[in-house]
Amino acid sequence: MEALNVLIAIGLIHCLLLFFDTIFKSCSHYPYLYFLKNTGLEIQVLRITWFTTAFNRKIIKWGMGRSKFWTAWFNAGVIVSVILLPLATIAILRMTFNIWTNGPSLDNSNSEPLLEPMLPGIDVPCNEIGYYIITLVICTFMHELGHALAAAREDVQLFGLGILIVFIIPTAYVHISSEQLTLLPIKNQLRVICAGVWHNIVLATAAATIVMLSTWLWTPFYAVGNGIYVKTILPNSPVLGPTGLLEQDVIYEINDCPVKRTEDWYNCILHTINQPALGFSFILFFIISKEDSLEYDESVPSRQKTNGVINCCTSDSEVGGSLCFEYIEGPQAAPLHLPPHSCLPARAMINQSQNFCHASHECLFHDTHCLKPSLDNITKAYEGKDVLFFGHPADIYRTVDVSDWIPKYSFLNPKLPETVTLLSKYITVFSAGLAVINIMPCFFLDGQYIINILMLYLLNFTPHNKNIRQTIILTITSISTLLLIINLLYVLMNKLL
């Protein structure tokens, strides 16, 4: 519902912009027309276009400088793109064959993963929509910048760069002289056309490298793989408070399940949920000295609940985080000289505890005792060095946000490495997908022009059979476009239905 509200709000904004644009133009507001002309803005139905020539000189300067570097750079792009084109075509043929063989199943587990990066935005959570928009802008800008630099290097006229927003999807584009491009030698044309795909491949590789090296890059400031960091806790969380979890806590274990990364955190919670209800024998027992128990004791006369559980705390003590604990002496211990139950602050007791135990004979030091919480047999328990939680594990899953990045200094926050890593992952997937989908020999994509030039070069020895050459190009392009549409529709059905 939240995503639908956002889409409705964006649609209303487009309608308002179109309404005022129509009003101002129809009333012949020359200052408004002058503003549109000078800024390069154009407003259409669910579309906003911005075109500028401000970067032309800078791009031409970059393209014309360092001639040997750019020549080698764009030659490498041609080689990689020409190699990638048949691989992408074979992959799309294989996927289509699998669709026809297995049938139009809507089971996501059977779908091919190749087209996942080609459909950005389908599975993007609402809280990551900003990453989605920024990633699309970066990937499309780098793609078009590659074409612009290659065109400037080949002395093709550059008219300008632009950004097009179709409803919520932003894309960049470059306007160059197509007439001058077609007059270039075949090799030079390939440099310009393959430059966009090549830049996307380089961008995806750079982003993937950042993701793989992220742990090493942030080592001086953050620790990863040895626990998880509590970022935020919702105000309604049952674990929030002086006796529960606190923000900036580090969690190493849930019951006997080690937690090293966020995946372990969720898996351990899921494992606890799937376990049968835990009894007293599984609830945390810990060691505490007699002095500590007397210092913190807030006990009132014990009373037995209807379910047989002993309660020795007042309501105010329970609100403050105290629990009724039972002394467990064990068969080898001397007679207990303390009351069998004491009301003690849970967090303070656990912090003072020396170790875990099941009976007092396990205590290593003199005058220490083993305690356990007096709770219902059906209550589940989390155990750890610092926190006891009694309740349903799903409450923690819903209300606690954790991070893999543990700051080594108090002034640091895991938001920075998380943002960089997540954005790099988005860029890796989207830029690689954009490269793969653009290299396809389909209509309106770079692959259409690449296959056209390659066929022209390969069949150049038969110039009198121009019609045959055009027929071959049209056939390849049409079949590839049809196959791509089939696969995209198949993946969309698996995602949306």
List, for residues 287-329, the tens digit of each pLDDT value: 445 555 555 555 566 666 655 677 788 777 776 767 787 777 6
Whether residue 67 is found in the same domain as residue 210: yes
Q: Are 402 and 229 in contact (CB under 8 A)?
A: yes
Whether residue 366 is found in the same domain as residue 481: no
Q: Which residues of 345-356 are buried (b: 16+ CB within 10 A; e: fewer)?
A: bbbbbbebbeee
Q: Would you say residue 457 lies in a domain?
A: yes
What is the domain range of residue 129?
46-215+418-496
Q: pLDDT band at 251, cuts 50/70/90?
A: confident
Q: How far apart are CA 24 and CA 343, in angstroms?
A: 74
Element of type H or E holding 69? helix 67-102
Structure tokens at 487: 């696969």
Mean pLDDT of 385-410: 78
Q: What is the DSSP track for 203-271? A: HHHHHHHHHHHHHHHTTTTEE-SS-EEEEEE-TT-TTBSTTSB-TT-EE-EETTEE-SSHHHHHHHHHH
List, for residues 189-204, the tens digit of each pLDDT value: 999 999 999 999 999 9
Q: How far apart are CA 261 and CA 252, in angstroms?
A: 9
What is the total residue count of the chain?
497
Whether residue 307 is found in the same domain as residue 434: no
Whether residue 52 is found in the same domain as residue 195: yes
| Residue written as token pair 């806790």 | 233
Whether residue 78 is found in the same domain as residue 135: yes
Q: Would you say residue 168 lies in a domain?
A: yes
Closest among 19, 164, 51, 492 to 11, alpha carbons compared: 19
Whether residue 93 is found in the same domain as residue 163: yes
- pLDDT at residue number 275: 62
Q: Would you say residue 3 lies in a domain?
A: no
Q: Would you say residue 386 lies in a domain?
A: no
Q: Are 191 and 78 in contact (CB under 8 A)?
A: yes
Q: What is the DSSP track for 332-346? A: TSPPP-S-SEEEEEH
Q: pLDDT band at 131, cuts 50/70/90?
A: confident
Q: pLDDT band at 379, cuts 50/70/90?
A: very low
Q: Which residues of 94-128 are buried (b: 16+ CB within 10 A; e: fewer)?
A: ebbeebeeeeeeeeeeebbebbebbebeeebeeee
Q: Would you say residue 250 lies in a domain?
A: no
Least confident of 171-175, 203-207, 333-337, 394-398: 333-337
**In the chain, how many domains are there?**
2
Q: Would you say residue 12 lies in a domain?
A: no
Percent of the chain with pLDDT over 70: 73
Whether residue 337 is found in the same domain as residue 434: no
pTM above 0.85, yes or no: no
Mean pLDDT of the chain: 78
Residue 74 has pLDDT above 90, yes or no: yes
Residue 179 CB neighbour total at 10 angstroms: 9
Whether residue 73 is found in the same domain as residue 210: yes
Residue 178 has pLDDT above 90, yes or no: no
Structure tokens at 28: 């012949």
Whether residue 324 is found in the same domain as residue 201: no
Structure tokens at 133: 């928009």
- pLDDT at residue number 163: 85
Q: Which residue, 376, 409, 442, sits at the end of a domain?
A: 376
More confident residue, 425 or 248: 425
- pLDDT at residue number 281: 27
- pLDDT at residue number 271: 80
Whether residue 326 is found in the same domain as residue 441: no
Whether residue 424 is found in the same domain as residue 325: no
Whether residue 141 is found in the same domain as residue 58: yes
Least confident of 12-21, 120-129, 256-265: 120-129
Q: Would you say residue 113 lies in a domain?
A: yes
Q: Would you say residue 406 lies in a domain?
A: no
Q: Which residue, 376, 394, 428, sits at the end of a domain?
A: 376
Q: pLDDT band at 473, cuts 50/70/90?
A: confident
Residue 20 has pLDDT above 60, yes or no: yes
Q: pLDDT band at 360, cuts 50/70/90?
A: low
More confident residue, 112 or 27: 27
